[in-house]
Structure formats: structure tokens, C-alpha cells
Amino acid sequence: MKNSNSIVAALIFASIFSIDAFVIPSQCLLSSSIFQCLVNPCLQKTCSSLTPACISNFCGGCYFSLLEENDSPNPGNLGQIKDTAPANSNDYGRFKKPLSIVDFSWVSPALCNFVTEKNWHFISISTPQYFIVSTIINLNFIANVFVYVYDLTNGDLYNYTTNSILAVDIKERTNSSISGCTVFNRSSSEYVSHCYNQQENRYEINVNVTTNDNIQVSFAFQINYSSVNDQSLVLLYPFKPTQPAYTHHLATQPTQGTMKIGNILPKSSFTGLSTTDWTLAYQKRVTRWKWASFSVQAQDIKNGGSVTIGINLSNELYDDKNNISMENTIWINGEVYTIDDFVNIETPSEQFLTTQPWYITTVEDNPTIDLQFQPVGSHQEHDNLVIVDIQFVQAFGFFNGTIQMLGNTYNISNGWGVVESNYAKW
């Protein structure tokens, strides 16, 4: 994203709310730069979900800055995964069923929701020839959309990325992962739509964009998912008692659809496996995470034949007090299993995140994970907005290795998926 976008975002934000809620990094070199404020800017701060410490700043305007938050103690283990859905949006724990409406209105005032709420919907689809990703990220003051299609047979990459100041191109906002649509629509020829069709029990993904290389890419996929019959991971996690995060993960869901890539690929039909991640979170002032995910066909060494295996593994974000991530999950032939042991995601140094191998391992024996991920391409964001600083790397590539679980050993050979390394400062 260009610096001009950062400036525009700050000016629009200021014009809407009359005062600027965040410090613009500048120095008061002249006494005339000291602004005479009618009200102490810190008195405007009512965001209980943010840090309580506030410093007024009268340099060129009426601003306040928020002191860095001391990391709160991580919660205890949230317990075994439950077969039900959460009772409500503050029923912290792990569940196999999602909520139909995620309502965090109890957390803080609307303005604070605007600047602290993050909604993320990631979808990947793996077919025998293509690895496809579609993602909509809505931070309210800005939205980011990226789509890429990677041809496994020849290495061609079709990549699209854009942002929308104040998320003006987000035309619909779903209330949960199983209710309605999230739609980015800039024009009749530039849109990304993620919907859940409750009557048909499926996600419907419709995309039409022009890539960075000026190639038109369109696809329409249906991902079969029944919130009654299929098993997923729903995590309601407290960064603080009044700072919730809700995330709904799916893996190994059967998928079918059509895709067209300019004049290179006429409209063709495909089947495959998908992974989805829907998140609504009031995140900490500073968040970091490492994440690994795939949905693949794996070989069952003991019994022969193949099984579908999905993983959702992370470090540093949704950890309990023993540094065990509460979202670590494996799907085997549709059955979901949470992992209550530490999973190590070892990354190469920062300059090699998108070129050198990542290693995902455990030290305990149920399960025993020994995977290597080799990146072949990436999507990256390195932004310094007035409101948030983001350093985000998502690499796609292939996994090799083994997972030993429930007395069986599963061999993963060139299974396509993604990893992420993220730093964000609000």
C-alpha cells in the first residue's frame, strides 16, 4: 500500500470523528504548533478494550496516545472441545459447532469497535492442478482483499491485491461464518463474494478480478458444509475478559466449481478440498502469530489407502498459560481433534520467510508431527498506517512429512497449503 493511502485514511478518520484518536508522528518545533484544545483529548477515550493508560498530545491538534499494553496473563486451558455451539458470544471455550450470529456489542462503544475490531475471512481451495486463495480482511478503517491462483503444473501465479479506505467497497458484512455474505464490490467486473447458503448447506465463493499482470480471473466454487453434520473448530478466546476473539476453522471440506483465466484457461470445472477461516476479534494492542494450514490427501501407512487430513496450527496468538495454542487442530476423514501439547513452528530468518523451509514439529507423541514446508510464492503486506502497523507474510507451497496419531502414521507428500508470519501494532 502506498503512503498516500495512509494519509488519506488519517484525514478521513479525523473528518468523521472531529478529533484524531491517534498521535500523528510529528514534533512541535514552534510554539504556534501547540493547539488550544477545549477538552482534554484523553477524556474522549472510552475504549475499555484498549489499554487504560493515556497521554494527551496538543502538537498540531487534539490527540491522545495509548501506552503500550502490558501483556495480560494468558488464560488457562479452555478445556476439551464440546460437541455443541457456544451458548453466546462470551461463552469462552472450544466447540465443534458455530454461532449463527456473533455479537460483540457488549464489549465497548461503537467508536472503539470501529478501531479495534478485525474481521477476516480466508479460503483456500486445493485442486489437482491449482491452489487458490481468496481473502477479505475488514478492519473498518481499511479493508484489504487478495486473491491468487497458482498453477501447480507450470508455476504460473495469478495475483490480485487491493485495499479500500474506510472499507467503502465492502457492500455486505456477514454476522458470522454461517449467516449471509461478506461482499467486496468495486464494480461489476471487480468483486469478491464469500457467502454461506443455509438452504444448500454450502459456502459459495464468487470472484471476478483483474490480476496485477492485467489478466482476468474469475471462479465460482461451492464448499459443502453442514453446521449440523460436519465437524469444525470454533474457538471463543479471551485476550482479556472483555476482549474476545471468535474464530471458526474448517478443513478437508469437499469443493467443486468452475474457473476461467483470461485466454489461458477456458471455463473449466474442478473438484478439490478446501480450508476456511472466519475470525472476528478484538485483538491486543500488539499481536503476533505464526500459522500453518492445509487440506490434503495423505497415505495411511498402517492400513493402506488414502485419508483426508487437515491441519490448523499456530503459535503466539491463542495460547494458554502453558503456551499451548487453543486453536491447534487436526481433521482426519472429517473427525476433528484438538491438540493439547505444544506445536513448534520454526521459521527461517525474516529475509528468508518466503524462500527457505519452515519446520512444524511436536515433542509429545499424541500426535507426533514432523512436517517441512517449502514456500514457492507469497502474499505480503508491510504497512505503517496512522492507526495500525502491519508486517504480514503469507507463503504458499507444499508440505512433506508425517503425522502419527491414534496408532496410525499418515504420510504427507507434496501437500499444498499456506503458512503465515504476522506482526500488527494497533
Residue 103 lies in a domain: yes
The predicted structure's pLDDT at residue 425:
75
Whether 157 and 221 share a structural domain:
yes
In sequence order, what E strands does 127-242 have?
130-138, 142-151, 157-165, 170-172, 180-187, 190-197, 202-210, 216-224, 233-240
Whether the upstream peptide bond of residue 367 has omega within 30° of 0, thus cis, is yes
pLDDT confidence band for 237 (50 / 70 / 90) = very high
Whether 160 and 215 share a structural domain:
yes
CA distance 22 to 6: 13
For 141-186, how does the pLDDT look when each residue is reduced to its tens digit (9 = 90+)?
Answer: 889 999 999 999 999 999 999 999 999 999 999 999 999 999 999 9
The predicted structure's pLDDT at residue 365:
80
For 379-396, how does the pLDDT look when each residue is reduced to its tens digit (9 = 90+)?
Answer: 887 765 555 677 889 999
Place of cell 503469507: 394
CA distance 91 to 269: 41
Provide Rg for the chain, Cα atoms.
Answer: 22
Dihedrals phi, psi of 101, to nearest 5 degrees:
-140, 125
Whether 57 and 201 share a structural domain:
no
CA distance 111 to 50: 12
Q: How many residues does the chain have?
A: 426
Question: Considering Cα of 138, then 139, then 141, then 143, what sign does the dihedral take?
Answer: negative
Whether 31 and 126 share a structural domain:
no
Residue 321: strand pairing partners: none
* Residue 413 DSSP SS3: strand
Residue 155 lies in a domain: yes
The predicted structure's pLDDT at residue 1:
44
Residue 48 has pLDDT above 50, yes or no: no
Residue 258 lies in a domain: yes
Q: Are 377 and 150 contacting, i.e. CB atoms less than 8 angstroms apart?
A: yes
Residue 27 has pLDDT above 50, yes or no: no
Residue 86 lies in a domain: no
pLDDT confidence band for 107 (50 / 70 / 90) = confident
What's the domain range around 57?
3-66
Residue 330 lies in a domain: yes
CA distance 309 to 330: 7
For 249-302, how does the pLDDT look when each residue is reduced to its tens digit (9 = 90+)?
Answer: 999 999 999 999 999 999 999 999 999 999 999 876 778 899 999 999 999 998
CA distance 75 to 82: 18
Domain boundary among 21, 51, 66: 66
Residue 16 has pLDDT above 60, yes or no: no
Whether 176 and 248 share a structural domain:
yes
Which residues make Cβ contacts (< 8 Å) with residue 102, sequence separation at least 6?
89, 175, 176, 246, 280
Q: Are 277 and 249 contacting, i.e. CB atoms less than 8 angstroms apart?
A: yes
How many domains are there within the chain? 2
The type of residue at 18 is S
Task: Output DSSP code: residue 243.
Answer: E
Q: How far apart are the first and last CA of the chain?
A: 17
Residue 284 lies in a domain: yes
The average pLDDT across 191-203 equals: 97
Burial of 313 (0-12, 13-18, 19+ CB in 10 A): buried
CA distance 397 to 415: 8
